[in-house]
Amino acid sequence: NAGVTQTPKFRVLKTGQSMTLLCAQDMNHEYMYWYRQDPGMGLRLIHYSVGEGTTAKGEVPDGYNVSRLKKQNFLLGLESAAPSQTSVYFCASSSGTGDYEQYFGPGTRLTVT
Amino acid sequence: DQQVKQNSPSLSVQEGRISILNCDYTNSMFDYFLWYKKYPAEGPTFLISISSIKDKNEDGRFTVFLNKSAKHLSLHIVPSQPGDSAVYFCAASNSGTYKYIFGTGTRLKVLA
């Protein structure tokens, strides 16, 4: 039982490049989330999903897109990376059935130059 | 507008003493609160939670207190241990949404 995994762990992009971050969970959770963590800002919600095929915007969705084609996977896309997107990205999941605990992945450190 | 605030960026406590971490919120619709602990280069891990129908929840060395009228919650760690040194985040949710708003975190250092 791996819990929540994220791919890749590190990435360096040049401004304007695109990439996709992959999150996978093996706990059969309905809810999945993407956060970014910046110094002094805590964790801010980018997008989330309440089930397969659904997505919704969080606090800071601009510049990102997401897809949840399979229940176990939640993809975060950057179409045209900007230096302001340099951050550590965390994926999380929760059951959505009364247990409010979120389970987090180990994070992806992204640098945009 | 920061809906969840942790006004102390850092806290140092002697081993064996009590650590008290504070969190304030502004949205009266929040009805579920959680604390997470985060070590460097790892994802946050769940520590303890409390529903708005309670004012206290205890789990071993960790106790969370909720004061709804003051929109304030606190995490007490007794006794503090060096392994508790980490960044602690509080998070709040309106249970109907399953969305979580996190505070900015407090870095706790427990001195041996």
User: With contacts defined as CB-CB under 8 Å, which chain A residues touch B104?
Assistant: 40-42
Question: How far out from the chain centre does Cα A39 lie?
Answer: 18
Q: pLDDT in tens for each of the 112 residues of chain B?
A: 679 999 999 999 999 999 999 999 999 999 999 999 999 999 999 999 999 999 999 999 999 999 999 999 999 999 999 999 999 999 999 877 778 899 999 999 999 9
Mean per-residue pLDDT of chain A: 94
Task: Out of B41, B43, B103, name the one closest to residue A42 (CB).
Answer: B103
User: With contacts defined as CB-CB under 8 Å, which chain A residues touch B45?
Assistant: 104
Cis peptide before A106 (omega within 30 of 0): no
Share of chain A above pLDDT 90, in %: 88
Question: How far out from the chain centre does Cα B80 lie?
Answer: 15
Which pLDDT belongs to residue A99?
63
Distance CA(B80)–CA(B87), nearest Å, equals 14
For residue B29, what are the CA distances in angstroms to A60, B25, B32?
Answer: 21, 10, 9
Per-residue pLDDT reduced to its tens digit, A35-77: 999 988 889 999 999 999 999 999 999 999 999 999 999 999 9
Distance CA(B61)–CA(B80), nearest Å, equals 8
CB contact (8 A) between residue B104 and residue A42 = yes
Question: Is A111 a residue whose pLDDT tops 70?
Answer: yes
